[in-house]
Amino acid sequence: MTLALDKTPSPNQDKSQPKTKISLGEYFEREIASATKNEYINGEIATMAGATPTHNRLIVNLLLALHTALDQDAYQVFVSDLRLWIPEAAIVTYPDIMIVAEPITLMEGRKDTIENPVLIAEVLSESTEAYDRGAKFAAYRTIPTFQEYLLISQDQAYVEHFYKEADQGGDRWIFTTYSLGETIKLSNLGIEVKIADIYQKILEPQNAV
C-alpha cells in the first residue's frame, strides 16, 4: 500500500517531461549503470543534484561526531552512498547520514538498501529544503524505527532537531533548534553532539567555539 503524503514533489523530478513509471527492478538496474544518484519516487525517477564542498564537509564532520559518540556494538553510521527503502511511500532515496541499530534490516533481495534507520540527517540546500522539511520528512515518519531527524544549515551554525516521543495518545514529534555554543541531545540514542564539532573548519575562526 502507498501512503498518501505531502504532494510537494522532489525538486529533482523533471516536471517538463511526461511521467513514465518504472518498476523497482528497472530502477535498480538503471542505478548500476548510472553515473549519478537517482531517487525512486512511486515509480518515477528523480536525478539528485551534486553537493557543494560545504555540504560534504558538514556530512564528514557530523559522521565523525556521531561515530565517536555512539556505542559501536549497537549502532552503525552510514553516509549518502547507501540507499534507503521506504515501503509505505514507495520511495528509494539516499539520505545524507543514517544511523542504524543492529541488526541491519535490508530490503528483500538487496544488499545495498536498508529499511531501519533510527536517525536521519539532511544538509539543507536552497533547491531541496522544502522537500526535506515536507514530503520527505513525512515519508521518513512512516518508517517504524525512525526516531531522530536533523536538518543542518549550510549558511549558518544552525541545526533543527525533531525527535519522536511516545505518549498516551501515540507518538508525537518534538522540535528543538540549536546554534553555535550549544549541544544537541539525541535522547533516543543517549548521546550528545556539539554544534561546534559539526561546523568545524566551516565557520570563521573568530566565530568558532
pLDDT in tens, 89-117: 999 999 999 999 999 999 999 999 999 99
* The pLDDT value given to residue 103: 96
Q: Is residue 15 part of a domain?
A: no
Q: Which CATH number covers residue 102? A: 3.90.1570.10
Does the pLDDT of residue 207 top 50, yes or no? no
Q: Is residue 69 part of a domain?
A: yes
Domain containing 185: what range? 51-207
Contact 21, 43 (CB under 8 A): yes
Q: Is residue 33 part of a domain?
A: no
* The pLDDT value given to residue 51: 86
Share of the chain above pLDDT 90, in %: 81
Q: Is residue 2 part of a domain?
A: no
Q: Is residue 202 part of a domain?
A: yes
Q: Tell me how many degrees the CA angle 21-22-23 measures, rounded to the nearest 5.
A: 135
Tell me the pTM: 0.88
Contact 93, 117 (CB under 8 A): no
